[in-house]
Chain A
Amino acid sequence: AQSVTQLGSHVSVSEGALVLLRCNYSSSVPPYLFWYVQYPNQGLQLLLKYTSAATLVKGINGFEAEFKKSETSFHLTKPSAHMSDAAEYFCAVSDGYSTLTFGKGTMLLVSP
Chain B
Amino acid sequence: KAGVTQTPRYLIKTRGQQVTLSCSPISGHRSVSWYQQTPGQGLQFLFEYFSETQRNKGNFPGRFSGRQFSNSRSEMNVSTLELGDSALYLCASTLGPTQNTEAFFGQGTRLTVV
**What is the interface of chain A, defined by CB distance below 8 A to chain B?**
32, 36, 41-46, 49, 51, 90, 92, 94, 96-105
- Residue B31 interfacial (CB < 8 Å): yes
23 A-B contact pairs sorted by A residue (CB < 8 Å): A32-B100, A36-B105, A41-B107, A41-B110, A42-B108, A43-B90, A43-B107, A44-B92, A46-B104, A96-B100, A97-B56, A97-B100, A98-B48, A98-B97, A98-B100, A98-B103, A99-B45, A99-B56, A100-B43, A100-B45, A102-B44, A105-B42, A105-B43
| Closest A residue to B90 using CB positions | A43
**What is the interface of chain B, defined by CB distance below 8 A to chain A?**
4, 31, 33, 35, 42-45, 48, 56, 90, 92, 94, 96-100, 102-108, 110
Is the Cβ of A45 less than 8 Å from the Cβ of B42?
A: no
A98 in contact with B33 given A32-B100, A90-B43, A104-B42 (CB within 8 Å): yes
Complex contacts, B92 vs chain A, CB 8 Å: 44, 98, 100
Q: Within the assembled complex, what's the spacing in Å between the Cα atoms of A49 and B90? A: 20
Complex contacts, A98 vs chain B, CB 8 Å: 31, 33, 48, 92, 94, 96-97, 99-100, 103
Residue in A32, A44, A105 whose CB lies within 8 Å of B105: A44
> Whole-angstrom distance from the CB of A87 to the nearest CB of chain B?
14
Complex contacts, A49 vs chain B, CB 8 Å: 102
